[in-house]
Structure 1
Amino acid sequence: MTEMAKRYIRIVDAMNYRIGRVMMYGIFVMMAILLWSSVSKTFFVPSLWTLEVAQFAMVAYYMLGGPYSIQMGSNVRMDLLYGDWSPHRKAQVDAMTVLFLIVYLIFLLWGGWESLMYSFSYGGERSSSVWRPYLWPIKSIMVLGIFLMLLQAISEFFKDVLRIKGHDMGEKV
């Protein structure tokens, strides 16, 4: 069981690390979109698509970068007591609290999947804006991001259980 958990951790962490490193550059994509929006409004005819594309880029940035953030320990944590605890105690508390995250992500994934299927079955659900883009691409990215976040949360659970058992998984930040 231990080796299987370690293998799962290696695979999921490596995948989310690579995706996260690529998504770091998404901020530049958003900056370019918003820069074009400003330039087009100032010098040309305002673009209809820039606001929604910037929102879609932001969703992709956060949803696909979220698992990387969890992996790096960059997520927000209430540090009132946590900072003074030993790594073993942190792992015990994290192993319990990550279960709530996993349950939440399962429900979120289920709802996202239902929304994505609705988008396809509706005959190509579109935004209600003037530009009217299809919504299935961004919903697909959201479902993928939630799924990757669920995989990373399970990886973090396995890391915490292994820490509790005395395996050196590196101290959680």
Structure 2
Amino acid sequence: MGALLGFSRAMDKVSTVFGVIAYWLVLLACATSAGNAVVRYGISYSSNAWLEVQWYFFAGIVMLGAAPTLLRNEHVRVDLVFGNLSPRAQLWVDVFGLILFLLPAMGLLAWMTWPFFLDSFVRLEESSNAGGLIRWPVKLLLPVGFLLIWLQGLAELIKRIALLRGITPGTEVVVEYHRPEQ
């Protein structure tokens, strides 16, 4: 279990790094959007490349920010029943959810999007818009993002199993489960 928890801690650090990248992409997207608006309406100049780079930044925010969101347990969940379960039952729900849904779905999506990226890379695909950008960098975000979510999901599964076995993972991130106040 020690080696698995070591992998989990390493993956937590990797996800944190990609989370910081996603944070910076938010700033870049906002600055690009504002700059594009100022130039478009201030001096009546525009380029499709500026719009496309914004889309690339947004794709990076979503695809690179999903694994750190999972790490912090801030992902969307329907909490009708989950919040009323005991902490141990919550762990079991997470284990089954990770095994039955998250890991298979993210693995399949990573596998299915790799050829999509590879085809774009080999063909040096470019946007059909005038002044558009090359497409493979944004398409690379798909398999990379899904793989990061899959790996973080595996790390979360390891932590949940450790907790069920009575072992407290030694991570900086604490997964808190609590009952809502009644």
- 1:33 positional shift: 0.7
- 1:50 positional shift: 1.7
* Residue-pair matches, total: 171
In 2, Cα distance between equivalents of 1:102 and 1:140: 20
Alignment of 1:34-73 (within 5 A): 34-44=33-43, 45-73=45-73
Name the structure 2 match of 1:158. Answer: 158
Residue ranges of structure 1 left out of the alignment (5+ in a row): none
Name the structure 1 match of 2:82. Answer: 82
Which residue identity does 2:134 align to in structure 1? Y
Does structure 1 retain, via aligned residues, the 8 Å contact 2:47–2:131? no
- 1:67 positional shift: 0.5
Name the structure 1 match of 2:147. Answer: 147
- 1:23 positional shift: 2.0
Alignment of 1:2-21 (within 5 A): 2-21=1-20
In structure 2, relative to structure 1, the CA distance for the partners of 1:171 and 1:69 (3 Å cut) is closer
In 1, Cα distance between equivalents of 2:156 and 2:104: 14
Does structure 2 retain, via aligned residues, the 8 Å contact 1:67–1:148? yes
Which residue identity does 1:120 align to in structure 2? F
Name the structure 2 match of 1:28. Answer: 27
Name the structure 2 match of 1:95. Answer: 95
SS in 2 for 1:154: helix
Name the structure 2 match of 1:105. Answer: 106
In 1, Cα distance between equivalents of 2:25 and 2:138: 15
In 2, Cα distance between equivalents of 1:162 and 1:19: 25
Does structure 2 retain, via aligned residues, the 8 Å contact 1:12–1:155? yes
In 2, Cα distance between equivalents of 1:15 and 1:117: 24
Does structure 2 retain, via aligned residues, the 8 Å contact 1:87–1:171? no
Q: Would you say 1:116 and 2:117 are equivalent positions?
A: yes
Does structure 2 retain, via aligned residues, the 8 Å contact 1:40–1:47? no
Give the TM-score normalised by the residue count of structure 2: 0.88
Does structure 2 retain, via aligned residues, the 8 Å contact 1:126–1:132? yes
Q: Provide Cα deviations, 1:54-89, integer angstroms capped at 9, x if missing partner.
A: 110000111111110000011011111111212211
Q: RMSD in angstroms over aligned alpha carbons? A: 1.4
Name the structure 1 match of 2:134. Answer: 134
- 1:15 positional shift: 1.3
Does structure 1 retain, via aligned residues, the 8 Å contact 2:124–2:134? yes
